[in-house]
Amino acid sequence: MPGPYRIRDVAPEITQRSDSPVPTSPAGPTPAYSALTVLECSRCSAGPYDADRVQGTCGCGAPLLARYDLAAVASWTDPGQIAARPPSLWRYHELLPVGSAKSVVSFDEGMTPLLPMERLGAELGVPRLLMKDESPLPTGSFKARGAAVGVSRAAELGATGVALPTNGNAGSAWAAFAARAGLPCLVVMPTDAPQITRAECVAAGAETYLVDGLIGDAGRLVRAAVADRPGFLDASTLREPYRLEGKKTIGLEIAEQLGWRVPDVIIFPTGGGVGMVGIAKGLRELRQLGWIGETLPRLVAVQAAGCAPIVRAFERQADETEPWPDARTEAFGLTVPEPLGGFLVLEAIRATGGTAVAVTDEQLLASQRQAARAEGAWVCPEGAACFAAVAQLRAAGWLAQSDEVVVVNTGAGLKYQQTMPAHPPLIPAGAQIPPR
Ligand SMILES: [Zn+2]
């Protein structure tokens, strides 16, 4: 399928490179569509792994991270050139793993608004509050970024299908992009996932199953199914390397939208942790390119009090998370009791002087109503949790009044109708609205 646009016609076709040693530079001085080189383990020194084959996790079980020839990127392009490109996440294609514009599967996603939240910021005591609003993305959540890049790369590498467990929004995003790529998609989600997301998966033709359990149970079903389906990619969170690459474009966009600089703080709702890890990775790549300054924003991971394994590990100064028993929250996307990449989130928070915060369902639902009333922004419960965290961190003095704070609203509140009870009075036809 053709991409939405073509930058250059010199992008070399990806060829299978199975022989060692693994090459370390894709194209040298000749500009290529992607500067992807190899995959490295995020935990151990095994590898590097060949990036031009379908790969899962490292032999040690940890996620693999895509590495790029950043010196080559710096010689091929610059922020000025990027600014002139179409406003989608594919404007950063040198820093993405897809080897050719022809392989891009897209709805023109990305470059979502970075909105000043003046009224809400004043109420919360943080006047320089901004919201990176991911709700306009295809399928209504930030999951579209990971799906765009993950599905494009999976198809490019010859996967025969994609399969994933989901708390809802990742499933609807991957189902939509897989349909657009002509790839079969298998989705397993908990029965408690937002109902609209199962309809979205079914509508996009995905083979969809519900499980009477949590996302970990869905993951086990997916792994067993994939083992029986040759060529299927297990696209579970951080079990393939490229969903993360899509997510990192949130960080790239925030930096570009601020004029190639970073805010003081970025606050992100954290379930599986890919968004947070992706933002950190993207900003580190920009720093290495010299496109932003040395100081990174303090990264804040927000979880729900009913499922907060990362917050607990952070408070205990542990490097790893422990499984959270009886996970439960209205912010269903945060119901990830055992995040595979928890240690990467903890590393990103600590390296940037950030923190991890848990908020109760009561707090996040109140923040959801507050944001809607103050700004007309019906954010998803996960995004609302971040505004609740702003209030908490400001009260504790961790956030200063002068801080420039970006909250990432990861999706549309419309998908969670049950979180906004609405019972307007019914007026019989022919009767009158009471006077004020
Ligand atoms: Zn490893």
Measure 62 CA to ligand 1 centroid, in angstroms: 5
Judged against a pLDDT cut of 80, whether residue 200 lies above it is answered with yes
Measure 39 CA to ligand 1 centroid, in angstroms: 11
pLDDT digits 0-9 by tens, 311-342: 999 999 999 999 999 999 999 999 999 999 99
CA distance 384 to 269: 9
pLDDT digits 0-9 by tens, 100-110: 999 999 999 99
Nearest alpha-carbon partner for 65 in 90, 46, 84: 46
CA distance 63 to 409: 25
Judged against a pLDDT cut of 90, whether residue 12 lies above it is answered with no
**Per-residue pLDDT, 30:** 87
CA distance 348 to 281: 9
Coil, strand or helix at 35: coil
pLDDT digits 0-9 by tens, 124-140: 999 999 999 999 999 99
Average pLDDT over every residue of 248-258: 98
CA distance 111 to 145: 10
pTM of the entire predicted model:
0.92
In percent, the amount of the chain with pLDDT more than 90 equals 90
Band of residue 47 on the pLDDT scale cut at 50, 70, 90: confident
**Per-residue pLDDT, 16:** 34
pLDDT digits 0-9 by tens, 158-169: 999 999 999 999
Measure 49 CA to ligand 1 centroid, in angstroms: 10
**Per-residue pLDDT, 293:** 97
pLDDT digits 0-9 by tens, 336-369: 999 999 999 999 999 999 999 999 999 999 999 9
Average pLDDT over every residue of 115-120: 98
Band of residue 370 on the pLDDT scale cut at 50, 70, 90: very high
**Per-residue pLDDT, 29:** 73
Nearest alpha-carbon partner for 38 in 48, 28, 27, 53: 48
Measure 42 CA to ligand 1 centroid, in angstroms: 6
Coil, strand or helix at 67: strand
Chain position carrying tokens 């790549």: 285
Average pLDDT over every residue of 269-285: 96
**Per-residue pLDDT, 3:** 39
pLDDT digits 0-9 by tens, 299-314: 999 999 999 999 999 9
**Per-residue pLDDT, 88:** 98
Average pLDDT over every residue of 81-85: 96
Beta strands, E only, 147-264: 161-165, 185-190, 207-211, 232-234
SS3 percent helix, strand, coil of the chain, rounded to 5, is 40, 15, 45
In DSSP terms, 406 is beta-bridged to 130, 266
CB of 135 closer than 8 Å to CB of 151: no
Judged against a pLDDT cut of 80, whether residue 10 lies above it is answered with no
pLDDT digits 0-9 by tens, 392-434: 999 999 999 999 999 999 999 999 998 998 999 999 999 999 9
Measure 158 CA to ligand 1 centroid, in angstroms: 24
CB of 117 closer than 8 Å to CB of 384: no
Measure 371 CA to ligand 1 centroid, in angstroms: 42
Measure 285 CA to ligand 1 centroid, in angstroms: 21
In percent, the amount of the chain with pLDDT more than 70 equals 94
pLDDT digits 0-9 by tens, 209-231: 999 999 999 999 999 999 999 99
Beta strands, E only, 136-184: 161-165
CA distance 210 to 198: 8
Band of residue 6 on the pLDDT scale cut at 50, 70, 90: very low
Measure 56 CA to ligand 1 centroid, in angstroms: 11
Measure 236 CA to ligand 1 centroid, in angstroms: 17
Measure 63 CA to ligand 1 centroid, in angstroms: 8
CB of 245 closer than 8 Å to CB of 278: yes
Residue 219's Cβ-side half-sphere holds a number of Cα atoms within 13 Å equal to 16
Measure 112 CA to ligand 1 centroid, in angstroms: 34
- Averaged pLDDT score across all residues of the chain: 93
**Per-residue pLDDT, 285:** 98
CB under 8 Å to 140, separation ≥6 — which residues? 169, 172, 411, 412, 414, 415
**Per-residue pLDDT, 28:** 62
Measure 343 CA to ligand 1 centroid, in angstroms: 13
CA distance 248 to 146: 9
Measure 164 CA to ligand 1 centroid, in angstroms: 22
